[in-house]
């Protein structure tokens, strides 16, 4: 059992205001009315707390600036009494803004209820509780608690305590005229560890948040969102997710019957971003007709699902061996040297003579010992990512003609931008460690700029054509896990989405792609919609400028081996001391090895006590495997540092 000790700091309001209070409404819940430095209808008596009006707001003109100046056990309750109707359910909520993270706020609704997440600083978060009173009047308010690190002076901003007398009457705001998103959450045995934030990516503003839930309970909350880019992050303060270590919690974010993201086994946190666009022109000024007519007027992931149906239903899979004939007829160089040689994206030099050319179909691989020996079939989505299954193995939209030797160098590594190259092909394609600014510094393969957009649009095609399958490919190996996020909607990790969007924008659709897409349509019956309508990429995946990058903390992204019930340890990162902290939950010894995605062991740690600390010299924003081995369990977890 997890135990937490708190020292409570309390501020108590003794004034009771019963006049002119509408049933279920809080007087001056918006903190707009002040007399001197006191909010009307709210009063404090504790001299360790001060309250003053502030123009730092979530809404309206003022908020309440609460300054906590004591670490004593005295009361810090902020309350008022309101009239209610017995038997009627009310949703009470308040927005708080933590500045330092050493004071938590707790909602009071006829008793002490949910906490804020004090670790979420620099943004507004909402505390909420649904309550059905049994009497005609109740007390509501807040209480503040100091946490570790409290230095005796900390500010918490409070705003918009609802339901207040400034709210619209029931019925005026009940229907959503924009896009309704629904969050469904079921907590595990430690519900109070779970919290979440929904943010507007364009402004960074918090739209809504939740925290301090009851254990083993189900919650549903809906949001009415305008067009834009958003992010949703769910947290577990203990770092073990909400499934399946201590109970079987889960969450999902849905709209129009489609799941944006779902899960439960996420460790410390899990981030998902999504875009909403309700314009009838698909966000790009074009109308979808003909082959794509059934997707016209749709947007976001609903558009993606409609495209999935179109290109899946029209796809007639061909044999793997027939790809050679497709190459012979449709992969000829009539764009660069115009010599009708076979067009190899790993040897083509767009600005000069090619280092070597393939002119005969007799040059199919075969054996090779270096570049120029033979050409092969390059699966931009490596076969190991989808277990060499049909129809992906022979889907021509993502299989490019390439030199066999360079193809073997690329292997199953994800595409990316190389910072330090270990291999460079004759045309400048690279293999090596990803750049520190890309969000992924594992081994990646980088094609030349001329073909980056081609590959990006092939990836967007794969995420759409195999929307019904791709969520199950993430854990097939470490490289698919590095780039796929385990969802059927976004499909890719944030770093990969940003990379692909950049490649798509910087290398726009060319005539060779248009011709190849048409040939593929004649060959297997379906098209790549992102070549025909490149504007649909931003409609579905959003603008690259709004993507989040990983920060320097350890996040448990995904278990890649055994069930979470068998994981009896956790790994935390201490920013102050720049060290890893390994904690075991049971009394046993074991070893923790830290392995990079190249398979090299960076550290081997003996864990023989409840807490072991290590100052690890690891690269920031880099994915590592943390392998824990003991007599009871052999388990691997993936982290980004």
**Mean of pLDDT over the chain:** 78
- What 165-171 contacts at long range (C-beta under 8 Å, 24+ apart), as own/partner pairs, is 165/21, 165/22, 165/25, 165/26, 165/27, 165/28, 165/29, 166/29, 166/30, 166/32, 167/25
- Let me know the angle formed at the C-alpha of 438 by 202 and 403, rounded to the nearest 5 degrees: 130
| Each residue's pLDDT tens digit, 279-326 | 444 444 456 888 999 998 888 888 999 999 999 999 999 999 999 999
Residue range 131-143: average pLDDT?
Answer: 86
Question: Which regions of the chain carry the CATH code 2.60.40.3080?
Answer: 561-640
Q: Using 50, 70 and 90 to split pLDDT, how confident is the model at 267? A: confident
| Each residue's pLDDT tens digit, 333-376 | 888 888 889 999 999 998 888 999 998 888 899 889 999 999 99
Q: How many CB atoms lie within 10 A of CB 422?
A: 12
DSSP secondary structure letter of residue 75: B
**Residue 464: predicted pLDDT:** 96
**Residue 549: predicted pLDDT:** 27
Residue range 141-163: average pLDDT?
Answer: 85
3-state secondary structure 464-493: HHCCCCHHHCHHHCHHHHHHECCCCCCCEC
**Residue 556: predicted pLDDT:** 33
CATH code for the part of the protein at 179-276: 2.60.40
Q: How many CB atoms lie within 10 A of CB 114?
A: 23
**Residue 208: predicted pLDDT:** 82
**Residue 201: predicted pLDDT:** 65
Q: Using 50, 70 and 90 to split pLDDT, how confident is the model at 431? A: very high
**Residue 629: predicted pLDDT:** 67
DSSP assignment of 227-263: SEEEEEEEEETTSS-SBSSSSB-EEEEEETTEEEEEE
**Residue 149: predicted pLDDT:** 80
Query: What percent of the chain is predicted at pLDDT more than 90?
Result: 27
- Top pLDDT among 593 and 292 is at 292
Q: Is the pLDDT of residue 640 over 60?
A: no
- Top pLDDT among 360 and 483 is at 483
CA distance readout (Å), 243 to 186, 263, 481, 638: 10, 8, 19, 16
Q: How far apart are CA 464 and CA 527, in angstroms?
A: 11
- Top pLDDT among 433 and 61 is at 433
Q: How far apart are CA 485 and CA 499, in angstroms?
A: 15
**Residue 74: predicted pLDDT:** 53
Residue range 500-512: average pLDDT?
Answer: 88
Rounded to whole angstroms, the maximal C-alpha distance in the chain is 93
- Let me know the angle formed at the C-alpha of 493 by 448 and 258, rounded to the nearest 5 degrees: 125
**Residue 133: predicted pLDDT:** 87
**Residue 572: predicted pLDDT:** 66
107-121, 295-309, 577-591, range with the lowest pLDDT: 577-591
| Each residue's pLDDT tens digit, 374-408 | 999 999 999 999 988 999 999 999 999 999 999 99
Q: Is the pLDDT of residue 54 over 80?
A: yes
Q: Is the pLDDT of residue 441 over 80?
A: yes
131-135, 372-376, 587-591, range with the lowest pLDDT: 587-591
**Residue 565: predicted pLDDT:** 35
Q: How deeply is 84 buried, as exposed, middle or buried, from its count of CB atoms within 10 A (0-12, 13-18, 19+)?
A: buried
pTM over 0.85? The answer is no
Question: Which regions of the chain carry the CATH code 2.60.120.260?
Answer: 7-162
Q: Is the pLDDT of residue 548 over 60?
A: no
**Residue 617: predicted pLDDT:** 73
**Residue 398: predicted pLDDT:** 95
Q: Is the pLDDT of residue 33 over 50?
A: yes
Residue range 34-42: average pLDDT?
Answer: 85
Q: How far apart are CA 555 and CA 345, in angstroms?
A: 36
CATH code for the part of the protein at 561-640: 2.60.40.3080
- Top pLDDT among 166 and 46 is at 46
Q: Is the pLDDT of residue 595 over 80?
A: no
Q: How far apart are CA 531 and CA 288, in angstroms?
A: 13
Q: Is the pLDDT of residue 619 over 50?
A: yes
Q: How far apart are CA 273 and CA 112, in angstroms?
A: 33
Q: Is the pLDDT of residue 567 over 50?
A: no
SS3 for 23? coil
Which CATH fold would you assign to the domain 7-162?
Jelly Rolls (2.60.120)
**Residue 173: predicted pLDDT:** 36
Residue range 453-464: average pLDDT?
Answer: 96
- Top pLDDT among 129 and 43 is at 129
Q: Is the pLDDT of residue 10 over 60?
A: no
């Amino acid at each position: 059992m997890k135990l937490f000790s708190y020292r409570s700091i309390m501020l108590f309001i003794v004034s009771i205001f019963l006049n002119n209070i509408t049933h279920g409404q809080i007087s001056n819940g918006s903190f707009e009315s002040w007399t001197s430095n006191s909010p009307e209808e709210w009063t404090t008596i504790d001299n360790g707390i001060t309250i003053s009006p502030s123009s730092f707001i979530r809404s309206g003109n003022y908020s309440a600036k609460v300054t906590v100046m004591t670490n004593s056990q005295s009361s810090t309750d902020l309350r008022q009494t309101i009239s209610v109707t017995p038997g009627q359910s009310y949703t009470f909520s308040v927005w708080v803004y933590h500045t330092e993270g050493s004071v938590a706020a707790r909602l009071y609704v006829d008793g002490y209820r949910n906490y804020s997440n004090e670790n979420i600083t620099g943004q507004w978060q909402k505390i909420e509780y649904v309550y059905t009173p049994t009497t005609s009047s109740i007390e509501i308010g807040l209480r503040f608690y100091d946490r570790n690190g409290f230095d005796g002076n900390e500010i918490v901003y409070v705003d918009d305590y609802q339901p207040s007398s400034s709210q619209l009457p029931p019925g005026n705001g009940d229907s959503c005229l924009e896009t309704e998103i629904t969050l469904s959450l079921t907590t595990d045995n430690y519900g109070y560890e779970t919290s979440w934030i929904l943010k507007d990516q364009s402004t960074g503003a918090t739209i809504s948040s939740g925290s301090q839930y009851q254990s083993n309970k189900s919650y549903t909350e809906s949001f009415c969102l305008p067009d834009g880019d958003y992010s949703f992050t769910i947290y577990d303060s203990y770092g073990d997710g909400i499934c399946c270590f201590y109970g079987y919690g889960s969450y999902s974010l849905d709209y129009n019957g489609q799941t944006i993201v779902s899960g439960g086994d996420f460790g410390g946190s899990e981030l998902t971003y999504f875009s909403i666009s309700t314009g009838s022109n698909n966000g790009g000024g074009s109308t979808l007709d003909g082959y794509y007519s059934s997707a016209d007027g749709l947007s976001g992931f609903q558009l993606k699902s409609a495209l999935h149906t179109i290109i899946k239903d029209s796809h007639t899979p061909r044999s793997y061996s027939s790809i050679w004939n497709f190459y012979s007829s449709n992969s000829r160089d009539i764009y660069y040297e115009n010599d009708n040689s076979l067009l190899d994206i790993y040897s083509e030099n767009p600005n000069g003579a090619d280092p070597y050319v393939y002119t005969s179909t007799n040059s199919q691989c075969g054996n090779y010992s270096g570049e120029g020996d033979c050409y092969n079939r390059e699966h931009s989505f490596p076969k190991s990512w989808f277990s060499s299954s049909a129809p992906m193995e022979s889907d021509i939209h993502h299989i490019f003609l390439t030199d066999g030797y360079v193809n073997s160098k690329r292997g199953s590594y994800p595409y990316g931008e190389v910072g330090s190259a270990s291999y460079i092909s004759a045309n400048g394609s690279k293999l090596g460690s990803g750049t520190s600014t890309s969000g992924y510094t594992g081994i990646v393969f980088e094609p030349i700029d001329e073909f980056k957009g081609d590959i990006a649009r092939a990836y967007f095609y794969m995420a759409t054509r195999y929307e019904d399958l791709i969520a199950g490919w993430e854990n097939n190996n470490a490289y698919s896990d590095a780039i796929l996020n385990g969802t059927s909607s976004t499909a890719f990790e944030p770093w990969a989405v940003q990379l692909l969007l950049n490649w798509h924008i910087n290398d726009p659709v060319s005539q060779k792609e248009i011709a190849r897409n048409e040939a593929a349509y004649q060959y297997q019956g379906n098209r790549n919609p992102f070549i025909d309508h490149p504007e649909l990429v931003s409609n579905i995946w959003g603008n690259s400028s709004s993507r989040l990058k990983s920060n320097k903390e350890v996040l448990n992204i995904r278990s890649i081996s055994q069930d979470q019930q068998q994981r009896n340890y956790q790994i935390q990162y201490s920013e102050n001391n720049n060290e890893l902290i390994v904690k075991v939950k049971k009394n046993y010894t074991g070893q923790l090895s830290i392995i990079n995605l190249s398979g090299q062991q960076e550290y081997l740690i003996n864990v023989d006590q409840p807490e072991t600390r290590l100052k690890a010299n690891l690269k920031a924003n880099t994915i590592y495997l943390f392998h824990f081995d003991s007599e009871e369990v052999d388990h691997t977890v993936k982290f980004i540092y």
